[in-house]
Structure 1
Amino acid sequence: MHISNPLTAALAALPLTSANPLDTRQSSPTLTVNLAQKYQEIDGFGFSEAFQRAYNIYNLPEPKRSQLVDLLFSVTTGAGFTIVRNGIGSSQSSQSDWMNTFLPASPGSPTAEPAYVWDGKDSGQVWVSQQALRYGVKTFYGDAWSAPGFMKTNGKDTNGGQLCGVSGASCSSGDWKQAYANYLVKYIQFYQQSGIDVTHIGFLNEPDMSTSYASMQSTGQQSADFIKVLYPTLQKAGLSNVSIACCEATGWQAQSTMTAALKAAGVENMLGVVTAHTYTSGISGTQPTTRKVWETECSDLSGGWSTAWYTNGAAGDGFTWANNIYTGLTTGNVSAYLWWVATQDKATNNNNNEKLILVDGNTYTVSKRFWAFAQYSRTIRPKAVRVGVSGGGGGSNLRSTAFLNADGSIAVNVINSGAGAVTLSVVGTGATAARGWKTDGSNDMTEIAVVVGTDGTVSGVSVPGRGLTSVVISTAS
């Protein structure tokens, strides 16, 4: 480089540090929040402890049990999860971690009086839900993998089959749609007896496949047939506040097809939320609906147990899931993002990555995936609204979201896919105070120092290389 100006030459000789008053190259890039640009409302982030996973927590000795509950639900030291997805049992036994039905015997016909049997535990899920209540969780989603076997074309709750009475599924025993709707209402009432208000009810799980455990197949039209029965049944039972969720397809594209069919069948206005998984196809766009959309199940089913944050983009990495959540919130406009199970032991499914936390005997180990969720769940609270955010520099390395919480605070989350750290300023919020946290290979939502200027600018927001930083900003309004 040829340097002819003496001042320029002097600047070039100085070290590039923030202590250098003449070094203009150290000005931080800026993120601009646009509170007037609004997108979807957020219901929350969560997990399931279905198929008896809840006992992994319940059976831990104290103080480990209380510590793990705190880790899941605390907004100061844990993930602050706000949605619990419970499985509604349909099986005759508890073998292979199946979930027991509370209607073990057929009443003989769809119109006969059922003999319900409720144990008050529901595979440990009642206890987990009660713990969540203590932390202020208000969203409880009950989802059935299948109807009881005697209500289906194949006579059992496993290996697919369809609900008797929907289009193309006639049974000699009769039409069981109303009986199944009554069954789901009874489930909600049982939970009410335990002090838990079920807010969302689902009647399917992965209806586009058949499995050796509880499963029930359904097309979009068949699902609509049942929704037309379930909706008025909830109304009649005084449960109009419970939202119907459908349809939990294995992938985003499969659910898009089902969503379009529900719309064509005229039941969209009866739905509370459209629900989908991301196993067979990831989130590549919005669902074709005006209803809220939830991503209700995702995980790494094939990878061996890992606590890694970043290993070249592996499917189980925490950094991978930070980016997946970002895609769900932005590309998918989802109002909720749920992981599969919170806990699992070593023996189940060859100790794979489908869990956030490994429970091993009397102790537990937390994955970095957990902390990716925590950065979003703890800072973006229920009823938050996603708002516009732009800038930040960093080329394609930075991915940012911003949310206006119901309490007036603003959450800004920034992912840095570059190898080097980036320090940002945030404007457009009118900040009066702010706190920040970061997660990377050596940090688990560790608090960072940020500075709030008299003009409302938040500066010193450090985002680690291949890391995630969240800032919660308080305002005067």
Structure 2
Amino acid sequence: MKSLILTLLTATCLAAPSPPAQSPLQPATITIDLATRYQEIDGFGFSSAFQRSADIRGKKGLSPENTTRVIEYLFSNTDGAGLSILRNGIGSSQNTTKDFMNSIAPTSPGSPDAPLNYTWDHIDTEQVWLSQQALSHGVRTIYADAWSAPAYMKTNNNDSNGGMLCGVTGTDCPTGDWRQSYANYLVQYLRFYQQEGINLTHVGFLNEPDLIVYYASMVSSGTQAADVLPILRSTLDAAGFSHVEIACCEATGWQEQGDMLTEIQLAGAEDTMGVVASHGYSSQPKLPLPTTKKVWQTEWADLDGTWTTHWDVLGKAGEGLVWANHIQNAIRLSNCSAFIYWQGAENTTGNSALISFAPGDEVHVSKRLWAMGQFSRFVKPGSVRVEAEVSLPLLHSTAYEMVEGGVALVVINNGHVDYETEISVRGGKGGAGMMTPWVTNNDFNATAQEGVQVSEGGSWRVTIPARSMVTYVM
């Protein structure tokens, strides 16, 4: 019988938990159909832009011992979440004041046709170091995204406060068209990382282009993005980076990204993209985007709540079970191939990160990390989502055929009771065996429990506990 990995999640609703109740006499059923296949999974990860890599390495007081602990929590498949995607920031600022990201070409060459004056410190505010740490833990997907082009390439002559890239539709810059120069800039960033032994796999040239903020930002419509995409794609190919996929366009929410995507399609530039990327802030991923390209949720967090390590206490936006639902919905309802939280670790009193080390050298791990880990430890890159038929409306599920031939099943119980559930696989070979449950809830963080017996026919009966996550591993 194929090796079998089963992840069972119990979801949250925005209300205080009720006392456990007895499950119905009639068991629920879940049938995994390996013949019905959906999207390939690329992984789960986090960002470390705006100098958070430097913070992890000790810039704000984190000791070397705790730096190691944070790295293990993020990347280890035994002691941590086993995350498999790192999202870096491509800088555009002239210095690293506050937490800004410095540009690799901070001064204007005078015109878009002149060679850029590059400078490389081999550090990139410790993103080089963090990328090396990720690679040493088996991560193979590193995505570099730019929040803005350098100031001299933009209509407002500022890498912050919006402004557009000179040369796109609707601009008329005295200095000329900087689209090709910007593409060259991004390619040189890839070369610098390649020199450090790091092969970046994805690149983006926009971040929240529907938002104007005081830090690095650049406005763009889908039509304007389509003015850049073919140039960037051809520049990557000519430079020997044909394997690097373009991710676009990181709108603040799903609806906004859908609008941008439509404009890109109308302009005939969709085929230049490898990934349609969006955030979950202004509108959540609850519907599929109209594309055959892979779809990633590349940034999202609870930016309003105070720091919490709770799994399920008050149903607040930062609790772990809430994020288990968000991840599940993104995969199940929006066909996402990747889910990336905003920051992995930082010195914070809010929920913008998975791990906090405030006030400086104390490591606090949120249940949000373990919510991601219940997926990322077992649903590795290359897994394919398959059909999972559920008899009970309260149970939402996703199933995956693993790269090594196993199967993963993620179930969300939106009720407040434990459910007896019969689970079976259609299209696979049967065989008796034992499964080891791994549990995350208010009491456990991916902790192994007593094994479960699988019948000769490849089916098994389990109790899905209320408001908990369980991973069964054969």
Same fold (TM over 0.5): yes
| Counterpart in the other structure of 2:124 | 122
Deviation at 1:27, TM superposition (A): 7.4
Aligned equivalent of 1:401, options 398, 403, 415: 398
* CA distance in 1: counterparts of 2:321 and 2:455, whole angstroms: 34
- Per-residue CA shift, 1:120-161, capped at 9, x if unaligned? 111111111100101111101000000000000000100000
Deviation at 1:56, TM superposition (A): 2.4
Deviation at 1:454, TM superposition (A): 4.3
Q: Secondary structure at the match of 1:64?
A: helix
Relative to structure 1, the CA distance from residue 456 to residue 378 in structure 2 (aligned partners, 3 Å threshold; closer, same or farther) is: farther
| Counterpart in the other structure of 2:383 | 384
Deviation at 1:28, TM superposition (A): 4.9
| Counterpart in the other structure of 2:6 | none
After superposition, residues 424-443 of structure 1 pair within 5 angstroms as: 424-428=421-425, 429=428, 430=430, 432-443=433-444
Is the CA contact (8 Å cut-off) linking 1:164 and 1:177 kept in structure 2? yes
- 2:306 partner letter: G
| Counterpart in the other structure of 2:198 | 196
Deviation at 1:297, TM superposition (A): 0.5
The alignment's TM-score, normalised by the length of structure 2, stands at: 0.90
| Counterpart in the other structure of 2:12 | none
- Per-residue CA shift, 1:341-381, capped at 9, x if unaligned? 011213xxxx2111111112222100111110000111101
Q: Point out which structure has higher relative CO (alpha carbons under 8 A, 6+ apart).
A: 2
| Counterpart in the other structure of 1:341 | 343
Aligned equivalent of 1:245, options 239, 247, 254: 247
After superposition, residues 414-433 of structure 1 pair within 5 angstroms as: 414-428=411-425, 429=428, 430=430, 432-433=433-434
Q: Aligned pair 1:134/2:136, yes or no?
A: yes
- Per-residue CA shift, 1:259-293, capped at 9, x if unaligned? 11111111111110000001111112111111000
After superposition, residues 187-336 of structure 1 pair within 5 angstroms as: 187-336=189-338
* CA distance in 1: counterparts of 2:434 and 2:193, whole angstroms: 41
| Counterpart in the other structure of 1:467 | 468
Is the CA contact (8 Å cut-off) linking 2:70 and 2:345 kept in structure 1? no
Deviation at 1:110, TM superposition (A): 0.7
Aligned equivalent of 2:75, options 48, 73, 76: 73
Further displaced range: 353-362 or 413-422? 413-422
* CA distance in 1: counterparts of 2:288 and 2:403, whole angstroms: 24
* CA distance in 2: counterparts of 1:464 and 1:97, whole angstroms: 43
- 2:126 partner letter: G
Is the CA contact (8 Å cut-off) linking 1:452 and 1:458 kept in structure 2? no
| Counterpart in the other structure of 2:34 | 35
- 2:143 partner letter: Y
Deviation at 1:464, TM superposition (A): 2.3
Is the CA contact (8 Å cut-off) linking 1:419 and 1:465 kept in structure 2? yes
Is the CA contact (8 Å cut-off) linking 1:412 and 1:472 kept in structure 2? no
* CA distance in 2: counterparts of 1:398 and 1:446, whole angstroms: 23
Is the CA contact (8 Å cut-off) linking 2:254 and 2:285 kept in structure 1? yes
- 1:398 partner letter: L
* CA distance in 2: counterparts of 1:107 and 1:433, whole angstroms: 66
Further displaced range: 357-366 or 214-223? 357-366
| Counterpart in the other structure of 2:354 | 356
Aligned equivalent of 1:104, options 103, 106, 126: 106
The alignment's TM-score, normalised by the length of structure 1, stands at: 0.90
* Equivalent residue pairs, number: 444
Deviation at 1:456, TM superposition (A): 4.1
Q: Secondary structure at the match of 2:74?
A: helix
Is the CA contact (8 Å cut-off) linking 2:168 and 2:228 kept in structure 1? yes
| Counterpart in the other structure of 2:449 | 448
Q: Secondary structure at the match of 2:200?
A: coil
Q: Secondary structure at the match of 1:155?
A: coil
Deviation at 1:421, TM superposition (A): 2.5
Deviation at 1:403, TM superposition (A): 0.3
Further displaced range: 418-427 or 82-91? 418-427
Aligned equivalent of 1:413, options 410, 413, 416: 410
Q: Secondary structure at the match of 1:222?
A: helix
| Counterpart in the other structure of 1:160 | 162
- 2:175 partner letter: S
After superposition, residues 169-188 of structure 1 pair within 5 angstroms as: 169-188=171-190
* CA distance in 1: counterparts of 2:191 and 2:352, whole angstroms: 31
Unaligned runs of 5+ in 2: 1-23
* CA distance in 1: counterparts of 2:241 and 2:347, whole angstroms: 37
Q: Aligned pair 1:50/2:46, yes or no?
A: no
* CA distance in 1: counterparts of 2:294 and 2:161, whole angstroms: 30
Deviation at 1:317, TM superposition (A): 1.1
| Counterpart in the other structure of 1:371 | 370
* CA distance in 2: counterparts of 1:253 and 1:472, whole angstroms: 37
* CA distance in 1: counterparts of 2:270 and 2:306, whole angstroms: 40
Deviation at 1:295, TM superposition (A): 0.4
* CA distance in 2: counterparts of 1:290 and 1:403, whole angstroms: 19
Q: Aligned pair 1:82/2:84, yes or no?
A: yes
| Counterpart in the other structure of 2:9 | none
* CA distance in 2: counterparts of 1:36 and 1:412, whole angstroms: 15
* CA distance in 2: counterparts of 1:123 and 1:399, whole angstroms: 41
Q: Secondary structure at the match of 2:336?
A: coil
Q: Secondary structure at the match of 2:80?
A: coil
Instruction: Give the number of the structure whose alpha-carbon radius of gyration is greater.
Output: 1
| Counterpart in the other structure of 2:16 | none
Deviation at 1:457, TM superposition (A): 3.3
Deviation at 1:425, TM superposition (A): 3.6
* CA distance in 1: counterparts of 2:99 and 2:64, whole angstroms: 24
* CA distance in 2: counterparts of 1:405 and 1:458, whole angstroms: 18
Unaligned runs of 5+ in 1: 1-24
Q: Secondary structure at the match of 1:226?
A: helix
- 1:191 partner letter: Y
- Per-residue CA shift, 1:295-339, capped at 9, x if unaligned? 000100111111111234311111111011111001000000110
Is the CA contact (8 Å cut-off) linking 1:434 and 1:458 kept in structure 2? no
* CA distance in 2: counterparts of 1:453 and 1:356, whole angstroms: 35
- 1:443 partner letter: F
Deviation at 1:340, TM superposition (A): 0.3
- 2:393 partner letter: S
